[in-house]
Structure 1
């Protein structure tokens, strides 16, 4: 995962989304799993999620809810495709077809779509030049994650790759992100800015595990990181890097029973 590094985002207050997300803002995150029913049980126990059927155009797919508000999605991996079980962030676009064209022009690929998800919106799934997979979401009835800043909600998204600057340029070109004027000399980290505010980050590690190339990591908010780790292990998940203190709180890298990797963050008060 992040090899012991801290997420680059600022502490985020809780809130309820009510407006269309700005271009490039991470607005949704979705898990593709071999056993979506088992995944619902695991994440329902961990985060307190309940579930509701999603657009039928996406196959067996459900939306996770907290107090009736949509938080994330879980779908099934096609049995005939050898894909990685993973959480995938979706970045907002006003015109997903044009964004998909720009992804291709900038050296990325588009593997799924663009396609309609009923009246919810329109999506595409692609990969950047380093191979990291991400989604693009053009909202219609479904604006994306509806609540943030509480237990069980996405808190931050970070791309872990070999070298940050080149890949960050790809995302800046496709989504129009701003770039910070300066960064600490001892880190290879590029925040992706929307209206001057970091919404995600790109971190270069130089080397990555042999079994895991460049990939996006989603951090989920938890009230108690230690308790969450105990629940993960008790339900068949794994701790990849134990809890450690960082500038924004306490974080840990974990994997669910199928191997989908994600991170936890317990915010500082």
Structure 2
């Protein structure tokens, strides 16, 4: 069975401000959930962040399998007001995700791209492939410092939905998932990021297929990306 990201949650100290910021950047109301950063997470020093949820048939059994590979539970299981179970974990190489069971519940449309920044992309992708059935697609060679940009899919049509790369080997990048929103006009969206108090982290980049991407941070420094198709 193949399981992919189905739910995206921004955990922010100021949800209302965050909704206004993302609406300005994306030109529409944000479909993803924006919630208050949990007190327990804030007490551990967690900043504002986007948390991706992977849909699995049984949360606890999937958590146990992930933990056996070296993942760490971050707090007890929780249930939403609709009764949906989820558990937050740090994967074996340090990136934070959640596992959830949303069978029969509303799910988000996939975001445009899912990028795993990790210290060992081969080992990290092997974990996600073994647990969730993800399949490698095209591999792109980037700079010598970054190495391979291994794209992957969980879709039946085999379209790539994201990539794993070894950027967390660099001193200024920590292991994390970076989620990209699709925009029609990247330049307009980036201007809105700056105007809204956010940060364009490292300029824009053009991928080999002509896609333009830009990693950003919102005013509370939650990382996200913007992506304009060629």
TM range (shorter): 0.7 to 0.9
When the two chains are superposed, the root-mean-square deviation of aligned CA atoms in Å is 2.2
- CA 1:174–1:222 in 2, change beyond 3 Å: closer, same or farther? same
Contact 1:114 1:123 in 2 (8 A): yes
Corresponding position of 1:241: 202
Q: What is residue 180 of structure 2 aligned with on the other side?
A: 219
Partner secondary structure for residue 134 of structure 2:
coil
Task: For residue 42 of structure 1, report the CA deviation from its aligned partner.
Answer: 0.9
Q: Which runs of 5+ in 2 are unaligned?
A: none
Confirm whether residue 103 of structure 1 aligns to residue 66 of structure 2: yes
Aligned partner (choices 41, 45, 48) of residue 85 of structure 1? 48
SS state at 1:99 partner: helix
Judge which range, 163-172 or 182-191, deviates more. 182-191
Residue 144 of structure 1: how far off its partner (Å)? 1.4
- Using the TM superposition, give the Cα deviation of residue 248 of structure 1 relative to its aligned residue in structure 2, in angstroms: 4.4
Count how many residue pairs are aligned between Structure 1 and Structure 2. 220
1:175-215 per-residue CA deviation (whole Å, 9 max, x = no partner) reads: 122335x84566423333324443332111263344x4111
Name the structure with the higher strand share: 1
Unaligned regions of 5+ residues in structure 1, if any?
1-21, 51-63, 65-70, 149-153
Q: TM-score with structure 2 length normalisation? A: 0.85
Contact 2:15-2:35 within 8 A present in 1 as well: yes
> How does the TM-score come out when normalised to structure 1?
0.74
1:31 corresponds to: 10
More off after superposition, 87-96 vs 217-226: 87-96
Q: Which residue of 1 aligns with 2:164?
A: 202
The higher relative CO (CA closer than 8 Å, separation ≥ 6) is in: 1
Q: Deviations over 1:88-108 (max 9, x none)?
A: 211121111111111111110
Conservation of the 8 A alpha-carbon contact between 1:25 and 1:199: no
The match for 2:33 is 73
Q: CA offset at residue 261 of structure 1? A: 1.0
Are the counterparts in 2 of residues 113 and 123 from structure 1 also a CA contact under 8 Å? Answer: no
| Structure 1 residues 96-154: Cα deviation after superposition (integer angstroms, max 9, x where no partner) | 111111111111012144332233622111111111001112113433114x6xxxxx2
Structure 1 position 25, deviation (Å): 1.2
The structure in which a higher percent of residues are helix is 2
